[in-house]
Structure 1
Amino acid sequence: MTEPGATEEEQRPRRELRATALRALRATPGFLGRWLLRIVLPLAGAAAVLHAFPYHATVQDVPFEVEGSLFSRPGLNADTTLGSWEFPHLTGLPVGVTITPQDVDLLKLTKAAGSDRAAFVQALQADFTDLVPKIALWLAAEVLIGVLLGLAVAAAVNMSIRYLRGAPKRAHELRIRVIQLGSALGVVVLVGVFGWATYNPNWVQQSRLTGTLAAAQLFPGQLSQYYEQNNKAFDVLGSVLGIQAALQQQIDAEAPSTALRIMFISDMHLAANYPLVQVYARSYDVDLIVNTGDESLFGTGIELTPGYLDAMRAVAAETPMLWLAGNHDSPAVEQTMRTIPGVTVLGSKTQNADGYDVRAGYVDAFGLTIAGLPDPRVYGGPGAYGADDSKVTDPLERDAVDAALADVVGDPEASASSSSSSAPPDGTADSPSDLFFDIFAAHEPVQADELRDQLPDRIRQTNVGHVHKQNDPGDLQSDGRIDLVEGSTGAGGLNDIVRGDTRPPIAFSIESVAPDCQFTRVVRFAIASSTPTSASAAEATTPQAFGDDVTASTIYFTPQDIDDNRTCSADLGISAEHPL
């Protein structure tokens, strides 16, 4: 295309520019394809070599196989026939190491571990630690060999394509390949430096147990009977679990002592799971249960059957419970909960002409100030109060939080000047605007977000449910603040039937509190199983009743900013509920 009035000399640069752009455009797919091969094939080669040639070692007469991986299982993982022990946060790289015992003589292991388990575990740790440099060198060499093989294949593919197309041989082909090899090796070195820079020295503080190893954490008192009935191998099981427990004790030894334990449950939805809660509370000496609501399905008090309430009474008779109303709980459900001995209802939900009003409340529990705010919605309620669209319900939730905290927020400038202080050790305060909350429970995550916005630096931990899924370990703590989203302890109610959702696991957590009131760690359980149909504790207190597909994740917290003179103890008791 020529421009009117332009000379040939003036048009030539424009034509050359257009021609160059067209050549670059045509060459782009080939360029991208070549570099895709140079990236994908080396990674695939490294992954293949790591998988094909694991490191073999014998530690305390136990043969191990150590296999590296890319992308599939990051972190450090120990696999056994009884489950896995996983430490996912080793570095920022998607690189993993899996240790698997091979052809273990279980009777020999049982004898070795049974005679002096502590000494056996110490020797096992020491011998394996001595092998770590050799294992690391082996895996690094495998990665390098895999990358080189991948580059060689990429070069061969590229040269073959050029040959089939009849392209002329490039000058300085060898120099080009050497430059590419050097670039690849440089990338490998940079990746190694990134892995070193992102190494997490506290990787041992986040772990995850699966299978029988996790089930042992859940039902320590019942496993003997269970496995004697199933495979007569309890001695062997006990030895393997004992080894894992001894290693876990060494990790726990660095943590502060525990003054009390708090169990978090949510979204029971009439499931017959209170016997499970009772077994768990007994097994772990739980001192307090915090329940963030959705007890019913359709919001009516008549749904809480005598058998269901009996199971709840059995739990609350042994372990006190703090409860607040969820979006499936009407004022009638709340009133029923107030009649159960051992249950303290936080806040209140009352009906008005347009919908529902909610009030927040708090208690002094074992040295902690724990507050709760119900959900303003009710299943089948009018307008926004019965809606499911978050665009409609989120503003309603936030407005309810703002109204409930009107007397607590106080003067923003005054609040900011004293935001780092906490309430006195006994939980008292001169006025609501002086209160510092160790735990502020609500039902929905949007409520927790608004609580954080309204009370910056005055809430140490929020606790919610509603979404039927536990939040990720990486989202639990940020800048010392803890936000716990609990899954459905009732396994989701009727969502799998009504909405076609996949049935979530039965989920609950236990948090350890130190004598100085620091929250030190949380263990989170998830049981992928069907719910028992009976609310009878006699029929639902064994692992068989709930299945043994259990995951137990342990996360340690960094210290939070609280007063130095705090004291927490199960002997301090629980006060009556105070309105906010």
Structure 2
Amino acid sequence: MRWVLRIALPLLGAAAALQAFPYHATVQGIPFEVQGSLFSRPVLSADTTLGSWEFPDFVGLPFGVHISPEDVDVLQITRAAEGNLPAFVERLQADFAAQVPRIATWLLAEFLIGLAVGLAVAAAINMSVRYLRGRPRRPSELRYRARQLGAAGLALAAVTVYGVVSYNPDWVRESRLTGSLAAAQLFPDQLSQYYTQRSKALDVLGSIVGIQAELQSQVEDDQTPQPALQIMYISDMHLAANYPLVAQYAATYDVDLIINTGDEGAFGPAFELTPGYLDALRAVTAETPMLWVAGNHDSPETEQVMRSIPGVTVLGSKTATSDGFDVSAGLVDAFGLTIAGLPDPRVYGGPGEYGADAPSVVEPLQRRAVQEALEVADPTAVAATTDDPATTATAPPADGSPVADGSQPPPEASSTATRTDEAIDTTPIDVFALHEPVAAEEVREVLENDVRLTVSGHTHQQSSSDELQDGDGAITLVEGSTGAGGLDNIVRGQDRPPISFSIGFVSEACQFTRIMRFQITPQDTAVLTDPATAADVQAPEAFGDDVTASTVFFRPQQIDPDRTCDVDLGISDERPWPTTD
């Protein structure tokens, strides 16, 4: 208990000091409060009544710094920001940067004072306990306490070193917006109209959105070149009436291409796709071309319906067999990018393993489907038959567990399978679209360094930002459900996930420069799409955390320096994955 007090009380003292004594600054006439936090909120953030702007990868320590305006004179902001917003933002940045050393000194001092007070209280409690127990005072009490203080100093030094080492100089490359600040990212024109139609106070709040937007644009200018293409990633529509939303998002960001990783339906049959649903889809693809791969809720008949939609290019194919489904991969050249796709081999309610949900059955099926579609040999088969490297081994079941129809599962495909030199074109794939993340993982294993970005869906949950790009530069994107789960969520009895989608930016040199990822609480999307509702009912604060917008800047990848991406290059016809024929 004494050791718990020795550790806990100094930390509590430091946290309390940071909370109790914020730094107060005035920047360009705007008063700000700068507050530190320990453990409770370890990010760098700017908070306003319109939402929050966070930078989560500042440092590895559980320490945060939060900036928020206080007692704002809105008329003063209006006078300062009117006319030349970029110049006002530059002055704001310069004034705040000049105060950063004082702010840092203040936060460090109150942290150390809180730590020292906590240590003193812990020492006092320990000595009081010894006194109450009737123990004699140690002859070397001061030396003992000095050693404890020295140990605390060494621990503090170690933590400080860790903080310095873990400091991320590229912290500005990832940020997250919430509330109306995020909503303004979705529909900047509509939100601007909203603010200008309301009172002067709300017009000033609109200028705060403008300040954030100007700061964000400066970050983008510093981090990335001008984009040549915008790609929208959607998935798992599940018959939801969200294509009008997709159309608005695409128009807002001048999207050049939509990549849809499947699950258009709920149970699989083509008659699920009603005329109204297909009309909404046609309205999207009339303006923006779409690449589509079938998911596990899409039957071969659904795939044929999608092929009939003008503007939709189906990648790969799914065909019924006597005992399940066969899938093949396809390729297109789109605006200078080589994009491949492979459907999910399952169909909801299908026979045996082709309708299974258990990971022990699904994962081997997905891996085997990827290897067969890309004509990859099982390494054990290569070792057994060196004269025929394309032969596939028939190993016994991996775990012996039965599949849905009572039969034994197929042999588990090795995740370390290698491709045959003859089977696969060596042209690097810029984007490989699949439905299942485990299939995307297998594609990376199979094609090694020949895939720059994989995109999948299925899980109804976006992958976290720190999982997007690995140390080698490869990008792995898992998109959430743009249809917010649809009937699939009702069947599973789960809460509806947020409506999720992403907008990726590609430079003229074909580099993936950054991605913006959006999540919207489903029941509140009318606020964003109905101008009457937005203008007459909702206040800016009402968006709360219903909208989240995250921006992640990618590190450059190693690609041919002579490559060019441009919308004028167009989209080719789909062609099958290269074979040994």
Judge same fold: TM > 0.5, yes or no: yes
How far residue 501 of structure 1 moved from its aligned partner, in angstroms, is 2.0
Superposition pairs of residues 502-517 of structure 1, within 5 angstroms:
502-517=495-510
Residue 366 (structure 1) aligned to one of 325, 335, 353: 335
Provide the rounded CA distance (Å) in 1 between the counterparts of 2:84 and 2:455: 42
Runs of 5+ unmatched residues, structure 2: 387-421
Identity of aligned residues (%): 63
Q: Is the 8 A contact 1:394 1:446 kept in 2?
A: yes
Residue 289 (structure 2) aligned to one of 320, 338, 345: 320
How far residue 494 of structure 1 moved from its aligned partner, in angstroms, is 3.0
How far residue 200 of structure 1 moved from its aligned partner, in angstroms, is 1.0
- Indicate how the Cα distance of structure 1 residues 542 and 379 shifts in structure 2: closer, same or farther if over 3 A, else same: farther
Q: Which residue of 1 aligns with 2:231?
A: 262
Amino acid at match of 2:157: V
**Deviations for 1:252-275, whole angstroms, at most 9, x for unmatched residues?**
112111101000000111111111
Q: Which residue of 1 aligns with 2:518?
A: 525
How far residue 435 of structure 1 moved from its aligned partner, in angstroms, is 2.3
User: Which structure has the larger Rg?
Assistant: 1
Superposition pairs of residues 66-85 of structure 1, within 5 angstroms:
66-85=34-53
Q: Which residue of 1 aligns with 2:260?
A: 291
**2:279 aligned with 1:329:** no
How far residue 115 of structure 1 moved from its aligned partner, in angstroms, is 2.6
Provide the rounded CA distance (Å) in 2 between the counterparts of 1:505 and 1:170: 62
Residue 454 (structure 1) aligned to one of 446, 454, 478: 446
Residue 490 (structure 2) aligned to one of 487, 494, 497: 497
**2:459 aligned with 1:467:** yes
How far residue 226 of structure 1 moved from its aligned partner, in angstroms, is 3.8
Residue 45 (structure 1) aligned to one of 6, 13, 33: 13
Provide the rounded CA distance (Å) in 1 between the counterparts of 2:267 and 2:172: 43
Q: Which residue of 1 aligns with 2:392?
A: none
Where 1:525 maps in the other structure, the secondary structure is strand
Runs of 5+ unmatched residues, structure 1: 1-32, 414-429
**2:546 aligned with 1:578:** no
How far residue 550 of structure 1 moved from its aligned partner, in angstroms, is 0.9
**Deviations for 1:549-576, whole angstroms, at most 9, x for unmatched residues?**
2111110000101111100001110001
Q: Is the 8 A contact 1:408 1:435 kept in 2?
A: no
TM-score (norm 1): 0.87
Superposition pairs of residues 344-355 of structure 1, within 5 angstroms:
344-355=313-324
Q: Is the 8 A contact 1:42 1:151 kept in 2?
A: yes
Amino acid at match of 1:475: E
How far residue 34 of structure 1 moved from its aligned partner, in angstroms, is 2.1
Where 1:374 maps in the other structure, the secondary structure is coil
Provide the rounded CA distance (Å) in 2 between the counterparts of 1:194 and 1:327: 46
Residue 304 (structure 1) aligned to one of 270, 273, 278: 273
Provide the rounded CA distance (Å) in 2 between the counterparts of 1:120 and 1:390: 55
How far residue 152 of structure 1 moved from its aligned partner, in angstroms, is 1.6
**2:360 aligned with 1:391:** yes
Provide the rounded CA distance (Å) in 2 between the counterparts of 1:439 and 1:252: 23
Provide the rounded CA distance (Å) in 1 between the counterparts of 2:82 and 2:439: 51
- Indicate how the Cα distance of structure 1 residues 572 and 407 shifts in structure 2: closer, same or farther if over 3 A, else same: farther
How far residue 496 of structure 1 moved from its aligned partner, in angstroms, is 4.2
**2:54 aligned with 1:86:** yes
Q: Is the 8 A contact 1:79 1:98 kept in 2?
A: yes
Q: Is the 8 A contact 1:409 1:454 kept in 2?
A: no
TM-score (norm 2): 0.87
User: Which stretches of structure 1, 4 residues or longer, exceed 4 Å deviation after superposition?
Assistant: 227-234, 407-413, 537-547
Provide the rounded CA distance (Å) in 2 between the counterparts of 1:304 and 1:453: 35
**Deviations for 1:62-98, whole angstroms, at most 9, x for unmatched residues?**
0000000112222310001111111111111111100
**2:326 aligned with 1:357:** yes
Superposition pairs of residues 147-162 of structure 1, within 5 angstroms:
147-162=115-130
Amino acid at match of 1:241: V
- Indicate how the Cα distance of structure 1 residues 445 and 390 shifts in structure 2: closer, same or farther if over 3 A, else same: same
Q: Which residue of 1 aligns with 2:171?
A: 203
Q: Which residue of 1 aligns with 2:398?
A: none
Q: Which residue of 1 aligns with 2:97?
A: 129
Where 1:127 maps in the other structure, the secondary structure is helix
How far residue 228 of structure 1 moved from its aligned partner, in angstroms, is 5.9
Q: Which residue of 2 aligns with 1:476?
A: 468
Provide the rounded CA distance (Å) in 2 between the counterparts of 1:515 and 1:340: 30
